[in-house]
Structure 1
Amino acid sequence: MNHKRFWKRANRAFNIALLIALPVLLFLLLRATDWDEVFRLLREYPLSTLALGMLIAICSYGIFSSFDVLSRFYIGHPLPVRRVFTVAFVCNAFNLNLSSWVGAIALRYRLYGRLGMSTGDITRILTFSLITNWYGYLLLAGALFVSGFPDLPQSWSLGQSGLRAIGVLLLLLGAAYLLACRFASRRAWGWKRYRLNLPTWRLAALQGIAGASNWSMMALLIYSLLPASASYPEVLATLMISSIAGVVLHVPAGLGVIETVFITVLRDHFSRGELVAALIGYRVLYFLIPLLLACLVYLWLERHAKKLKRRADRREAARAS
């Protein structure tokens, strides 16, 4: 018990230290930023670039929302795909901007519950979607790190060899999941109160493709806002590092974390102004605009929830008969 308490306190102290250090580091990095350059670059983005960025964001959210659609087929629930897709979009937008507790968890239970889905089915959808996201991350980040991306700053003690070792570990974990889905005779697994029924290997492969595709689209949006000299694998790998850092620190939308990691890793390739301008554009196109749309869709869902639930009940009754 004392051992568990020690590690719990150590983890809390570590997170607090990082939360204190992060804004200090970000302040030091941004203090040296030429803000006149940032505002000039933001004004000079061509309309075609912004339109392309918005199209990429739409594609990314479409892929992201398909995680719940895959989950719906995984559990065999009769709720129409369009309803699942709509709920998933709202939850994902709130999740990215606020926190997983608000978007990924609380809103899913509320919206799916109001559409007649049981708590157990909602939990299974949530679990399957989370696995899809992070399974794609394992495969993509593992491949990038093994390939030597990103080119880490010399000041980072991890080094390229350490990064490659992490990449190998991630790929092994990804391969283990796929092999388990293909060959494991025991399909139900659990830990404490968490339970998972392994999907078919084909569905697991779709999870990896969907998850990796979404991460790739997110990085493509940032890449499209950077100068033409940008390397897409470098941008993608940097996003992989910044995303896991944001999860560890429990920072909503990775606010400050993404900026700190990108400026630190890519400062030898771009000016601070170019990086900050691209990340501001990324936050507007990928976070703020979808959140505004999600708020409107959420209000519509709340207003029509009873009517939609009655339709779902009639479909379920017709199916049962």
Structure 2
Amino acid sequence: MSLGLRTLWGWTRRLFPWVLAAIVLGLVARQARMVEWAEVWVAVQSLAVSQLALAAALAALSYALYASFDLVGRHLTRARVSVGRSLGTAAISYAFNLNFGSLVGGLAMRLRLYTRWGLSAPTVGKIIAYSMVTNWLGYLWIAGAVLIWAPPRLSQEWLPGALVLRGAGVALVLAAAAYVVLCFVSRRRQLSLRGHSMELPSGPLALLQATLGGASWLLIAAIVWTLFAGRVDYPDVLGALLLAAVAGVLTHVPAGLGVLEAVFAASLASDRLPVTEVLAVVLVYRATYYLMPLVLALPAYGWSEVAARRRSARAQAVGDAPV
């Protein structure tokens, strides 16, 4: 490839995500102007208490499942931290991640909490990497299966045709399968990328990663489906959730604010289910899965700060005591 083509490709690769983000945000803004928000609030108030309770229980189960992703990294890095502390750190970080972005929750919060327990920054980085692999490995095969068998029904301004989506679904499933196969057959047991190396999990552990990651996405979709009370088919809800997740990542909007709502409205609203009811469900889902866990995570993080200072003070007092 000539120097000019390499330069053009480099600029294209840098600008494409931002152009795509601008298109998505433009569609989000246009969708928001068309909504009757007073009717959305009325629809929110009509949701049954039993639906809210079940959604909250599923959200708690989902957080526990997502926190277990860190146990994979704990095992592979042989990190000297207890299971309980690892789960607690992951759950707190996940709440911050969803609401404030991956740099705050996924990286900074995990780094601060894990180093408090004596882990080195490189070890924490590997735990984060294994957790991300587990999450997105599950996404790949779940999204691939949805695109193959039940592609989302969106207008052409949002997505290409069903044939293209099914082709993309096959590619996603093959990518997930390639990782699992690599873990079974690789002899080096090391994966290197840009000067960083990670130990490959065993084949059975890779299958466990795929299972945990896929179950997590299925469980999150079950929360939204519960709030719809059967008025929308589960595959449709799952497809909308998976699309919203990618749109949120591409737009870099904290908590996917507005993006989540717009994608669900575009993919699920119909004559049978008005856009106001779709948005009401999504807003309640956001409160249940994003805001309520954050309300719990904030004091938990504060308590960890206080406990860490007390431990440091005791250790200093012991060190200063005369022998």
Please tell me whether residue 300 in structure 1 is matched to residue 303 in structure 2. Answer: yes
Match of 1:71 among 70, 73, 76: 73
- SS of 2:68's partner is helix
Distance 1:73 1:309 in 2: 27
Contact persistence 2:20–2:250 (CA under 8 A): no
Match of 1:263 among 237, 262, 265: 265
Match of 1:89 among 80, 84, 91: 91
In the superposition, the TM-score normalised over structure 2's length comes to 0.90
**After superposition, where does 1:195-234 map in structure 2 within 5 Å?**
195-234=197-236
- SS of 1:78's partner is coil
Question: Which amino acid in the other structure matches residue 232 of structure 2?
Answer: A
* 1:138 Cα deviation after fit: 0.7
**Structure 2, unaligned stretches of length 5 or more?**
315-323
* 1:119 Cα deviation after fit: 1.6
- SS of 2:188's partner is coil
Please tell me whether residue 278 in structure 1 is matched to residue 281 in structure 2. Answer: yes
Please tell me whether residue 290 in structure 1 is matched to residue 293 in structure 2. Answer: yes
* 1:25 Cα deviation after fit: 2.3
Report which stretch shifted further, 259-268 or 125-134.
Answer: 259-268
* 1:70 Cα deviation after fit: 2.2
Question: Which amino acid in the other structure matches residue 174 of structure 1?
Answer: A
Cα 1:181–1:15, aligned 2, differ >3 Å: closer, same or farther? Answer: closer
* 1:77 Cα deviation after fit: 2.0
Please tell me whether residue 167 in structure 1 is matched to residue 172 in structure 2. Answer: no
- SS of 1:190's partner is strand
Distance 2:94 2:297 in 1: 9
* 1:245 Cα deviation after fit: 1.6
Identity %: 36
User: Could you list the per-position Cα deviations for residues 126-184 of structure 1 after superposition, in whole angstroms to 9, with x for gaps in the alignment?
Assistant: 11000000000011111111113323335555111111101100111111111111111
* 1:4 Cα deviation after fit: 5.4
* 1:228 Cα deviation after fit: 2.5
Distance 1:157 1:89 in 2: 34
Contact persistence 2:97–2:104 (CA under 8 A): yes
Give the root-mean-square deviation of aligned CA atoms: 2.1
Q: Number of matched residues?
A: 311
Distance 1:231 1:304 in 2: 47
- SS of 1:179's partner is helix
* 1:84 Cα deviation after fit: 0.5
In the superposition, the TM-score normalised over structure 1's length comes to 0.90
Distance 2:118 2:301 in 1: 16
Distance 1:30 1:120 in 2: 43
